[in-house]
Amino acid sequence: MSLEKIFDRFLPQIEGDLQQAVRIPHQSLAPYYDIMRYHLGWVDEEFRAIQANSGKRLRPVLCLLACEAAGGDPQQALPAASALELVHNFSLVHDDIQDASPFRRSRRAVWDIWGAAHGINVGDGLFVLARLSLHRLSDRSVSLGRQQAASLALDQACLALCEGQFFDMSFEEHLDVDLDQYLWMIGHKTGALLAASAQLGAIVATDDLACIDNFFRFGENLGMAFQIQDDILGAWGDPQVTGKSAATDIRDKKKTLPVVYALNHSNHRAAKQMAHLYAQEGPLDASAIGSVLDLLQGLGARQYSEEMAETYYRQALQDLDETGIENAAQSHLRELAALLLGRAA
């Protein structure tokens, strides 16, 4: 079965379970839940049913594949998969407010339409619905012990995600970000939820703690590679592929891996030039963006970042190998990792 068929198999199940999780409990609350449904890509601004870009649903697919690879029934893990996607979307709604970003997935962000106050409240609601979704594991005959382990794992991931977001926002205020700080930040902001996605799938499937830990580390290292790859695309990506303007991260002076590498480079003159450009007020103009890209190219920042992404990707595959499992779902996890990072499977 191809990876495309895997998505075709799982996505309708995931969407159905998400709609169950975000059902409208009373007609008087329809506008509140419809804002959530808008963000999830099911309705437009007038709350009319549509099929908008709802994201890759990567985290729930990863959860279900990990469950199957570890010997479990993916149907049992559906509430956990939904919980992960709802947590991810809670973070996106809040991120858009924190970043003052008016667009999400080529549509207006929730806060840009209904205001920051409603956006915060909608994000909070998505977070609670995620927690409630985990309680539905009991409806799938998941043991109490595994339910408790899943709940703890998701809570730990949520806290890590918030900690990572704190550091990401704090990085905007200063230039002395070193590589260890950057890696810690993306390990929490991006790696933690992908780690939890594979971990929760394994928790539903097995009580083998070593196996669960291997899946956790697979997701974590995949998340690290995924974020670094996103950093590379944020500087050099093709707008036709990424769906956003070229060098958007450079324009917004984000502390991505290529930039952190350049700011800390042993070539002090180039590092000082980078710091001078990033110390400017407001977004960078086209001329400054060009200067930054020239500096990054001259310092080998792209090659360095690509090599680091490759290192984390290879480690993720090794983590899968260390489970000692060989089955179709395990092969699909490898294919999924390759697809996410633009590698040949």
Tell me, letter by letter, the H, E, C secondary structure of 255-298. Answer: CCHHHHHHHCCCCHHHHHHHHHHHCCCCCCCHHHHHHHHHHHHH
Element at 232 (helix H, strand E): helix 209-236
Residue 265's contacts (CB-CB under 8 Å, 6 or more residues apart) are: 271, 299
| Whether 179 contacts 262, CB under 8 Å | no
The yes-or-no verdict on residue 246 having pLDDT over 60 is yes
Q: What is the mean pLDDT of residues 156-175?
A: 94
Q: Which two three-digit tokens encode residue 327?
A: 């089955």
In 3D space, the residue among 67, 111, 306 whose CA is nearest the CA of residue 202 turns out to be 67
Residue 118's pLDDT band, with cuts at 50, 70 and 90, is very high
- What is the value of pTM for the model shown? 0.94
Residue with tokens 């570890």: 70
**How far is 333 from 340, CA to CA, in rounded Å?**
11
Report pLDDT for 42: 96
Residue showing tokens 């920042």: 301
Helix (H) or strand (E) holding 103: strand 103-104
> What's residue 247's pLDDT?
82
Q: 223 near 150, Cβ under 8 Å? A: no
> Structure tokens of 49?
């049913």
Domains in the chain with CATH codes: 3-340 (1.10.600.10)
Rounded Cα–Cα distance for residues 242 and 261 (Å): 23
**Using one digit for the tens of pLDDT, what is the confidence trace for 4-55?**
888 889 999 999 999 999 999 999 999 999 999 999 999 999 999 998 777 7
> What is the overall mean pLDDT for the chain?
94
pLDDT, position 260: 96
pLDDT at residue 225 tops 60: yes
Strands (E), 234-314: none
Residue 281 DSSP class: S
Q: Which residues contact 329 (CB under 8 A, 6 or more apart)?
A: 65, 66, 68, 69
| Closest to 201 measured CA to CA, from 57, 82, 315, 88 | 82
| 345, pLDDT greater than 60 | no
Which are the contacts of 217, defined by CB distance < 8 A and separation ≥ 6?
A: 195, 315, 316, 319
pLDDT at 242: 57
- Does 94 have pLDDT greater than 90? yes
